Homo-oligomer: A and B are copies of this chain.
């Protein structure tokens, strides 16, 4: 017993010490460019060199989906290596890449499909084994991420990987309703989703601002509710196939009873407004009153037919009915509805919505669909065989799980709100301190990031999604313990770069937009500014810079993005400097950045003066100049302090700078300079006793 105990203790100590010495460098070595990080990775010594003689073989089961996937992966490998390789897929067991699968799996993916795979790379061969085609797809993406290059050429480092997802539901919601997204936007986003192992496209298709799906039963719905921007059923089938070919489910959402203005443009009779009330497509963002009438049999007559048609069109077992943000104003104001509630003994609007949901549930069940909806649909008297989609948080989801109801988390993954990747990355669908039992935990199916489209266009949507989405995808796929933020950002940058090979535009469109804003002038000075500013967060944009759904999304706020790259580097250097960590290196880096900023000032002022499209951001140019000066003064003082000079800044100086910084901290043109807090810290440190 004693010996065993000692061994365990020794083992624990060893693990502990390994954890402690694990530095950024170790993580870089351990995780290389993998994102999401697989559940088990063991690097070996050795390398599989990549030459033009690279070959692929498939053993066991195969199908067209797998062959097409291999074809595309091979073209990407060729693109990166600039080597032409054979297009043959043989069954030769000695091929460079040998793929073994036992089954094609579901041609149209289903929740719970096995997505696991093993990947063994030695000096001679890469061997990918998976129970089915989708597992092989996931493994192929990992394989591509492993590619490295050095002076001796491209190679795959030897490795042994065993991998499977932590959560079965790993989604991205795209709102095609507020701003319509053409087919190619959806396709390229599906490509990127597959690259980071996401498996659900939640497609938000109806809203106050648009009805985006062809229905043959009620063509007036899209003809009058979409400005002509809708998906035909043929296009939807094309997307479903495109997604299935990448192991991705497509779940449609038809948001109701609220968020329904676009329905009522052609069918005012099923709205809850006054008799004879008419509706127009909503152009503003926000929460609106128009709501389907749950007391009107015409509503159900239409919806029954509609859901039958949509159930046939969308093969996925789940159908999302929204259900959010119904404030019930039309219901309260409508005497008929009030009378109905009284008659039926329905006590409040929640109960009325549950009445509505139960009726809808029957339509869905009749067509073999499982109902999914936002938190609001979860009411005590609704049956438990629904899926709760939580925008409210992990607690709501845990509460539901305890009651036997499954759920998916989106709270914390609202990527439209322009928060940094680190913030989303820190949110776990099942936090480490969960009190849920193992059984209950299984009811948390996973998570979904939401790309609400108030302020995105086809030109900018990729930048809003892929600036942070790979970090969220990792949270959904990888073990909970994969959570080092610095290493996440390192890998994120590489993955973002690779995604553009798929036709994504998240990086390349920024320079184009800046060129348009300046009418073809040299944009380098503007890029210096853009790399430390971010759009305002949460729902502030509309408050500080109102626009409608018809407005051009081509301003500086649209070109800028969350996670401004230089701001993150600067803020980190300041934190460390003040904490006394690597002071010399950090001071030097800060000095260098300030030098870059200073050298951009003239060019920036000139751009601002000659580009009317930048007029709204003029003050940001002045602010940029000012923070550069203040930071430089503070840095000089801090440096003197370190050198034990007596350059301590006065309290008056401090107060003056803080006052200036408080003004600069206010957003302008929907943007904020995100290094202001750091410069404030520098000012405080420079003037401390």
A301 at the interface (CB under 8 A from B): no
- Inter-chain contact A78/B516, CB cutoff 8 Å: no
Chain B residues contacting A498 (CB-CB under 8 Å) are 516, 520
Interface centre among A78, A184, A493, A554 (most CB of B within 10 A): A554
Residue contact B494 to A550, C-beta cutoff 8 Å: no
In the complex the two chains form, is A497's CB within 8 Å of B511's CB?
no
Choose, from A82-90, A107-115, A171-179, A239-247, the stretch at the interface: A82-90
* A659 on the B face (CB < 8 A): no
Could you mark each residue 150-180 of chain A with 1 if its beta carbon is under 8 Å from any beta carbon of chain B, else 0? 1111100000000000000000000000000
Stretch at the interface among A55-63, A474-482, A611-619: A611-619
How many chain-A residues does the 8 Å CB contact rule pick out?
47
CB-contacts of A2-37 with B (<8 A) = none
**CB of A336 within 8 A of chain B?**
no
Residues of B within 8 A of A505 (CB): 508
Which residue of B149, B547, B612 is within 8 Å of A153 (Cβ)?
A: B612
Q: Does A581 contact B (CB under 8 A)?
A: no
Does B153 lie within 8 Å of A550, measured CB to CB? no
Cβ proximity bits A495-525 to B, threshold 8 Å, 1 near / 0 not: 0011011000101110110011101100000
Looking across the interface, which residue of chain B has its beta carbon closest to that of A493? B520
Q: Per a CB cutoff under 8 Å, which of B80, B84, B548 touches A516?
A: B80
Closest to A547 in B: B84
| A81 CB-CB contact with B under 8 Å | yes
Asked if A552 is at the interface (CB within 8 A of a chain B CB), the reply is yes
Q: Is A609 at the interface (CB under 8 A from chain B)?
A: yes
Q: Is the CB of B516 within 8 A of A512?
A: no
A515/B500 contact (C-beta < 8 A), A79-B552, A81-B613, A84-B552 known: yes
Q: Is A82 in contact with B613, judged by CB distance below 8 angstroms?
A: yes
Which residues of chain B are within 8 angstroms of A519 by Cβ–Cβ distance? Answer: 80, 149, 494, 497
Decide: A555 and B149 in contact? CB cutoff 8 A. Answer: no
How distant is A549 from chain B, measured CB to nearest CB, in Å?
10
Please determine whether A613 and B516 come into contact, CB atoms closer than 8 angstroms: no
For A42, list chain B residues within 8 Å (CB): none
> Is A65 engaged at the interface, CB distance under 8 Å to the other chain?
no
Q: A534-550 toward B: CB 8 Å interface, digit per residue (1/0)?
A: 00000000000001101
* B residues near A150, Cβ cutoff 8 Å: 610, 612
Q: How far is the CB of A20 from chain B (nearest CB, A)?
A: 30
Q: B-facing mask of A66-110, CB < 8 A → 1, else 0?
A: 000000000100111111100100000000000000000000000
From A84, A152, A547, name the one whose CB has the most chain B CB atoms within 10 angstroms: A84
With both chains docked as a complex, state the minimum distance between the C-beta of A458 and any C-beta of chain B, in angstroms.
Answer: 9
A45 at the interface (CB under 8 A from B): no
Q: Given contacts A83-B552, A508-B509, A508-B512, is CB(A149)–CB(B78) below 8 Å? A: no
For window 554-581 of chain A, which residues contact chain B by CB distance below 8 Å?
A: 554-555
Known: A494-B519, A497-B515, A520-B494. A554 touches B613 (CB 8 A): no
Tell me the chain A residues, 465-495 only, with Cβ under 8 Å from chain B. Answer: 493-494
A617 to chain B, nearest CB (A): 10
Contact A151 B609 (CB under 8 A): yes
Q: Let me know if A551 is at the binding interface, CB within 8 A.
A: yes
Task: Name A555's contact: one of B82, B494, B512, B609 (CB within 8 Å).
Answer: B82
Q: Out of B84, B500, B552, B616, name the residue touching A78 (CB < 8 Å).
A: B552
Given contacts A75-B552, A508-B512, A520-B497, contact A613 B80 (CB under 8 A): yes
Alpha-carbon gap, A512 to B497, bound state (A): 8
Contacts of A507 in B (CB 8 A): 511-512, 515
Which of chain A's residues 342-356 have a Cβ closer than 8 Å to chain B? none
Residues of B within 8 A of A184 (CB): 184
**Which residues on B sit within 8 Å (CB–CB) of A154?**
612-613
Q: Is the CB of B500 within 8 A of A612?
A: no
Q: Is the CB of A82 within 8 A of B520?
A: no
Q: How far does the alpha carbon of A151 sit from the alpha carbon of B500 in the complex, in Å?
A: 36
* Chain B residues closer than 8 Å to A552, beta-carbon distance: 75, 78-79, 81-84
Nearest opposing residue in chain B for A52, CB measure: B551
Residues of B near A78 (CB, < 8 A) are 551-552, 554
How far, in whole Å, are A551 and B83 apart by their CA atoms in the complex? 7
Chain B residues in 8 Å Cβ range of A555: 82
A508 cross-chain contacts in B, Cβ below 8 A: 505, 508-509, 511-512
Name A414-446 residues within 8 Å CB distance of B: none
Residues of B within 8 A of A554 (CB): 78-80, 82
Q: Which residues of B contact A500 (CB under 8 A)?
A: 512, 515-516
A465, chain B: closest CB distance, angstroms? 17
Can you list 17 contacts pairing A with B, beta carbon distance less than 8 Å?
A79-B516, A80-B516, A80-B554, A80-B613, A81-B612, A84-B552, A149-B610, A149-B612, A149-B613, A150-B610, A151-B610, A151-B612, A152-B612, A154-B612, A500-B512, A507-B515, A511-B511
Contacts A84-B548, A151-B609, A511-B511 known; 5 new A-B pairs at CB < 8 A: A78-B554, A79-B552, A81-B612, A501-B516, A508-B509
Which 8 A-B residue pairs are closest in the complex by CB-CB distance? A497-B520, A78-B552, A149-B612, A508-B508, A84-B551, A79-B554, A82-B555, A153-B612
